[in-house]
Structure 1
C-alpha cells in the first residue's frame, strides 16, 4: 500500500472511532520548543529532570526513538458537551471529559487503544516507551490545531475544548501542511485578564506556579495570596477558556448532556471531599480526577480552601472536624477557611 493510501486509511479509522480531526507530521525534533523551554527559568522543575518523560524529554524523538518516521496526531473534541455547573465550579472540563491521559477502561482509553492497535495491525510499529512528544506543537505541525494566547490548542469546531493524542510511528506517511499560528486578535487580552491568579504573564507565556491547576496539585502550602483566586476550584480551571472570544460559539452550541456526569453531580459534595474516605474517593473523586493527585490529603486541602471561598459559614462545623487531620497541610487550609468564613 502506498503512503497516500495508507495515510488515508489511518485517518478514516480515527474519524470512525470518534476523533474529530487527525493529521500527520514528520518525526523531526522540536528544537524551537526546547529553546523556548530553556529560556523560561520558571519551567526549571520540568526541564532539569531528565528521564521524567515530560516536556524537555520529548523534544528529540530521534534520540529516544530513532526508528521514528512520522507522528500521527488525533484530536478528540468535547465542545458539544453541556457540563453540569455543579461540577464545572470545581473541576476543569477536560478532566470531566475523562479524555486527558484516559484510564484504559474508559471510553476514551478504549478509543485511543483501539486506534493504536489498528495502526499496529497495518504493520506499523508505534512507540510505547513513555516519553511524550510536545503534543500542542506536534498537532500544529500536523495541521490539526492552532495556538491561543492562553497556551491552549484550538480547532475551529471545538475551540480549546479538545484533547490531543500523538502516536510516534516507524513508517513514513503523507505529511500535512502545518498550522503553527495563533489566530487570536492582536489586541485581545481577555484570557489574560480573566485568569484568577494572573498566571498568564503575556500571550503564550504561563507562570506555572501561579496557575490554579499547579496549585491544586502541589503538596506544599498554597500561598495565601493565591487562595482567593482559586475560588472553589479543586482540580483545574477553565477561566481563560471561558473568557476567550474564540470559544464563544462553541460554548453557545454546547447542548449534549452526558448521563454519567448528570448522575455524578448528585453525589458531588465539598464537605465529603474535605472529610474524604476511600469509598467516596473511589466512587466520586477518582473517576473524574485521577490525572495528577495521588495523596488524598491534597484533595482534602483543596476542598478546605474551596469551602472557605464559598462565603457560607454553615461549612464551619465540617472544617472544624478537619482540624483533627494529622496532616498540617489540611489543618492549615481548614483553619484559613474557618477564619475567612467567621469574618463574613
Structure 2
C-alpha cells in the first residue's frame, strides 16, 4: 500500500472509529506561530501551562526523527444540555464548561489516536509516530488550522463548518509523507462579538488572548482569585464558554452524537454547597473522570465559594463560618472572608471580627480587613 492509498484508508478508518474530522499537513516548522508565541511571552499573556520551549512548540522535527507529516483529528462535543437542573435559593448550582462534560476528552482522544497508530503500523510496520492531545508540545490549534480542520478564529478557537468551535483537537506526527490538505479561509469576517462580550477583556484582539485575564484559565489556578475577576465569574466553577456561546458560527451546533461526552447533569451543573464538604477522595470519586477535575478539589472549592457570594446565598453562611474557623488552607479562608463580606449578613460580619483575633496568615488578614472595611463604607 503506497502513501496515497494509506492516506485514504486512514480517512476511512478514522471515520469508522468516531473521529469527526481528520486532516493532513506537513511537518514543516510553524514559523509565524513562533513569532506570535514569542510576543505572547514578552507581554506576559501565557497561562504557564504551555510547553516553555518555543523550539519544541514550533519545530515538529525536534519531536520525531525524520518527521514528514502531521495528522490532525477533531472530535465534536455537545453544546446543549437536555433537562438541565435549575438552581434556586438555598440550592444554588454551579457550571462546568462544555469542555468538561462527560468523559475526560484527553482519555477519549488518546484512545482514538492509539487505534489510529495501530492501524498505521498494520499497513506500514516501519512507520514512526508521536501522538499528543492538549498537553503535548505542539499547538493543537496551529496544527488543525494548517491541516484544514477549520479556521483559527478571533475567539482563539478552531471553528469547523460542521461542528462550530465545539471540537477537541489532537495530532500525530509521522515519518510518512502524506499529501497535505488545504487550510480553510477565515470566515469570522467583521464580527467581533466574542471580543465585545468577554467578561474580563481577556481577548485583546482577534486571535490574541491574555490568558492571565481569561476566566477559563483563572478557574484552574490554585492561588487567590484576583478581586477584580471574582464577581465576573458568576457561577462558573470550571472554565468559561462565553466567547463560544455568542459566536454566530456556533448557532444550532448541538453535536449530541458522541456518547462519551454526554453531560451528567448533576456533575455538569452541580449543587454548590455539597462540594464544600467533599474530601480529596470523595472529590476524585465524584468528579475524577471529567477533565475539570485535573487540578484537584482546591480550585473548584474556591470557585464554589465565589459563586455562593455571587448569589449572596445566605443559607451557606453557617458552613462558610465553620470553614473560616477550621479550614487549614489560607486561600480558602481568604476567599471565605471576601464572600462573607459580599453576602453581608450580621452573622457573617461577627465571624469576620472573631477571625481577625486568631488569624496569622497576612493574606487572609488582608481579606478579613478588606471585607470589614467594605461594610463600613456601605454603612
Report the TM-score when normalising by structure 1.
Answer: 0.87
Asked if the contact 1:125/1:170 (under 8 Å) is kept, the reply is: yes
Shift of 1:283: 2.7
Q: Name the structure 2 match of 1:184.
A: 188
Asked if the contact 1:308/1:340 (under 8 Å) is kept, the reply is: yes
Q: Name the structure 1 match of 2:315.
A: 314
Shift of 1:217: 1.6
| Secondary structure at the counterpart of residue 24 of structure 2 | strand
Task: Please report the RMSD computed on the Cα atoms of aligned residues, expressed in angstroms.
Answer: 2.9
Could you tell me which runs of 5 or more consecutive residues in structure 1 were left unpaired when the two chains were aligned: none
Equivalent-residue separation in structure 2 for 1:128 and 1:75 (angstroms): 13
1:61-100 equivalence runs, <5 A: 61-79=60-78, 82=81, 85-86=84-85, 89-98=94-103, 100=105
Shift of 1:235: 1.1
Q: Name the structure 2 match of 1:339.
A: 341
Equivalent-residue separation in structure 1 for 2:55 and 2:224 (angstroms): 27
Equivalent-residue separation in structure 1 for 2:27 and 2:70 (angstroms): 6
Q: Name the structure 1 match of 2:29.
A: 29
Equivalent-residue separation in structure 2 for 1:48 and 1:322 (angstroms): 34
Q: Name the structure 1 match of 2:228.
A: 225
Asked if the contact 1:84/1:262 (under 8 Å) is kept, the reply is: no
Equivalent-residue separation in structure 1 for 2:311 and 2:144 (angstroms): 39
Shift of 1:256: 8.5
1:42-61 equivalence runs, <5 A: 42-43=44-45, 46=48, 50=52, 57-61=56-60
Shift of 1:269: 2.5
- Alignment deviations for residues 219-244 of structure 1 (CA, whole Å, 9 cap, x no partner): 22111110011111111000110111
Equivalent-residue separation in structure 1 for 2:250 and 2:16 (angstroms): 25
| Secondary structure at the counterpart of residue 287 of structure 1 | coil
Shift of 1:178: 1.7
Q: Which segment is superposed worse, 320-329 or 5-14?
A: 320-329
| Secondary structure at the counterpart of residue 218 of structure 2 | helix
Shift of 1:15: 0.8
Q: Which segment is superposed worse, 15-24 or 91-100?
A: 91-100
| Secondary structure at the counterpart of residue 25 of structure 1 | strand
| Secondary structure at the counterpart of residue 127 of structure 1 | strand
Could you tell me which runs of 5 or more consecutive residues in structure 2 were left unpaired when the two chains were aligned: 87-92, 347-379
Pick the aligned partner of 1:198 from 193, 201, 204.
Answer: 201
Shift of 1:121: 2.6
Asked if the contact 2:66/2:175 (under 8 Å) is kept, the reply is: yes
Kindly tell me: are residues 259 and 64 of structure 1, through their superposed partners in 2, closer, same or farther at Cα, counting changes over 3 Å? closer
Q: Name the structure 2 match of 1:274.
A: 276
Kindly tell me: are residues 91 and 204 of structure 1, through their superposed partners in 2, closer, same or farther at Cα, counting changes over 3 Å? same
- Alignment deviations for residues 84-126 of structure 1 (CA, whole Å, 9 cap, x no partner): 6459951111121435322xxxx55433322232223332221
- Alignment deviations for residues 165-202 of structure 1 (CA, whole Å, 9 cap, x no partner): 101111111221122x421131x221112211221111
Count how many residue pairs are aligned between Structure 1 and Structure 2: 333
| Secondary structure at the counterpart of residue 309 of structure 1 | helix
| Secondary structure at the counterpart of residue 119 of structure 1 | helix
Does 2:115 align with 1:111? Answer: no
| Secondary structure at the counterpart of residue 318 of structure 1 | helix
